[in-house]
Each structure stands twice: as structure tokens, then as C-alpha cells.
Amino acid sequence: MAKLDIFKTEWLDVVFAGRNQAYGAYELRKLNSKNTIKALMIGSALFILTVSSPLILKYLKGLTPEKNEKLLETEVILTPPPPIDENTPPPPPPVEPPRPKVDQIRFPPPVVVPAAEVRDEEPPTVEELKVADPGQKTIEGDPTQEVRIDEPTGEAPVGSQITEDNGVYNTTTVEVMPEYPGGMDKFYQWVGSKSDILYTNAAREAGVAGRLTMTFVVEKDGSLTDIKVLGKELGYGTSEAAKKLLAQSRKWKPGIQNGRQVRVQYTLPLMLQLQE
């Protein structure tokens, strides 16, 4: 048996069939659900407004100043100044700077002002500047004055020695790279001419071939120090032979940093390949 919902509006037509539907009861029952929802919403809004009205009134009251608001007045008592001692001598007048050795003529600085405030003040002529120095005001020179040279300024004491830069730079931070005389082509030509040093007898017999990555420091005088092999070694005494060969190299052009010769860490590969 199907469940019947007698609250559906379709039943109203059955109940009021053949009756006077314009009497009012039909309309009230048909619009009952809408009226109920509308009344619930209006009642909820009025309830919320009633509950929050004290907070709203408090907020609105804080925005408007009170007419009878009293100001808090505080009396401040100032300490009287100390009595003037008539026996205390007045401070000395400021010492005027000594006059320059050469006459000084006022050179007005350029100032941007409106056209109505422009004053016709001519700058000193070239002839006047030949016998006088430009300055902020015109001062008559005193030929008897001595020329004073100010002492050097800075944190280091006068006469201190300049600290030498002995740090080691790398090829990415140094301004001017070190270089073999004539360029790297000349360097590898020299390495090729020294195969008797680079290849030991054991390396020749074993037919060693490959690459050695060498690193060294180019000193300030161009000599090579701290010669090492990076990464994988080829064995048969090739690493020691490569170190010995680089130690016999000509002096390089040293690296330059801030106009001074510095020590630079340099890395380059050496290819070992026996000629048939």
C-alpha cells in the first residue's frame, strides 16, 4: 500500500471539490507553507536584531563624541632655572679661521628660484679668477700665512704598512687570468716536446693513454707551486712525472686583482697519448 501525504496541495482540490473556494479557507491552506517560511524568516531577523541591538548602540555611541565629556586637567610645575652667576665669565667668541694665503673672491653657487626672485649677481670674471681663488665669500688673502696640509684620514695609523694580499684566487674571481708566455698553444707544444719526462718506461711498456687533470697555483712571480693531480690517476708513475714536468715550466704571467699581482689556483688537463 502506497504512503499517502495528505499535506500535499493536490489534496486541496479533492477536499474543496464542489465547494466555495473563494471563501478564503482554500487560499489559506494553499499558501500555508509559503506563509510559514516567510513568517519564520521575518521572526528570525527580528530576533537577531533585538539581541544585537545593544552592541549596535554601543558601537554607534563610540563614533560620536559626548557633549558633556570632561577633559582631564593636570597641573605641571616647571623647575625654575638656576640663578645666573654674575662672576662667571662669558664664553669666548668663536675663533675666526685664518685668512688664506691667496685672495678669495665669492663665487655664487647656482640656485634654482622663481623668475621673480632672480637677482642680478654677476659671477667673477676670468681675469679675477687668475689672481684669486673661488669661494663662498670674498676674503682678502694674507701672504704671510703658511700653506697647511691636512693629515690623512682613516682608521689606520699614520705610517702603517700595507698588508700584502697572499690569498689564493680562483679563475672565476680574479680580474686578469694568469697566462703562459705565448698562450696555451705554446704551453701544450712545450708539453709535447717533453714526452721523455711525461712518459716513464713502465708507462711506455703498458701503453698508457688518457687524461690527467692537473691543478697548481700560479704565484705572484709566475712560478708554479702546489702541483697536484685531481681525480683519477693513470698509474705507472705518470702522476709524479706530470708534477715534475710542470715544475720545470717557464714562469707564467701572474694574475691581476685590483691592479696587483695575486696568487691564482689554476686547473688544466694533460692528454697522454703515445705516438706510434
Instruction: Identify the pLDDT of residue 246.
Output: 85
- pLDDT tops 50 at residue 206: yes
- In this structure, what are the phi and psi dihedrals at residue 43, rounded to the nearest 5 degrees? -65, -40
Q: Report d(CA 39, CA 33) in Å as an integer.
A: 10
220 closest CA partner among 162, 171, 161, 168: 168
DSSP characters over 160-171:
PPPPP--PEEET
Q: Which three cell numbers stand for residue 114?
A: 622663481
Q: Report d(CA 183, CA 252) in Å as an integer.
A: 10
Instruction: Identify the pLDDT of residue 139.
Output: 72
The residue with greater pLDDT, 60 or 131, is 60
Q: Render pLDDT for 213-226 as a digit per residue (tens, 0 to 9).
A: 888 888 989 898 88
The residue with greater pLDDT, 107 or 276, is 107
- CA Rg value for the chain: 51
Give all domains of the chain, ordered by start, each with its CATH number.
9-60 (no CATH), 168-272 (3.30.2420)
Q: Render pLDDT for 86-104 as a digit per residue (tens, 0 to 9).
A: 788 877 877 777 777 677 7
Kindly report the pTM of this predicted structure.
Answer: 0.41
- pLDDT tops 70 at residue 69: no
Instruction: Identify the pLDDT of residue 61.
Output: 74
The residue with greater pLDDT, 257 or 106, is 257
Q: Give the residue-averaged pLDDT of 31-56.
A: 86
Residues 165 and 174: beta-carbon distance below 8 Å: no
Alpha helices in 135-227 (DSSP H): 184-193, 195-198, 201-206
- pLDDT band at residue 41, thresholds of 50, 70 and 90? very high
- pLDDT tops 80 at residue 174: yes
Instruction: Identify the pLDDT of residue 176.
Output: 86
- pLDDT band at residue 1, thresholds of 50, 70 and 90? very low
Instruction: Identify the pLDDT of residue 42.
Output: 92
What are the CA-CA distances from residue 226 to residues 44, 108, 177 (Å)?
A: 90, 64, 18
Task: Determine the 3-state secondary structure of 151 from DSSP.
Answer: coil
- pLDDT tops 80 at residue 266: yes
Determine how β-strand 133-135 pairs with β-strand 224-230: unpaired
- pLDDT tops 70 at residue 131: no
Instruction: Identify the pLDDT of residue 227.
Output: 86
Instruction: Identify the pLDDT of residue 166.
Output: 77
Q: Report d(CA 90, CA 55) in Å as an integer.
A: 68
105 closest CA partner among 129, 84, 85, 87: 129
Instruction: Identify the pLDDT of residue 188.
Output: 84
Average pLDDT, the chain: 75
Alpha helices in the chain (DSSP H): 10-15, 25-30, 32-63, 126-131, 184-193, 195-198, 201-206, 238-247
Q: Report d(CA 62, CA 65) in Å as an integer.
A: 7
Task: Determine the 3-state secondary structure of 48 from DSSP.
Answer: helix
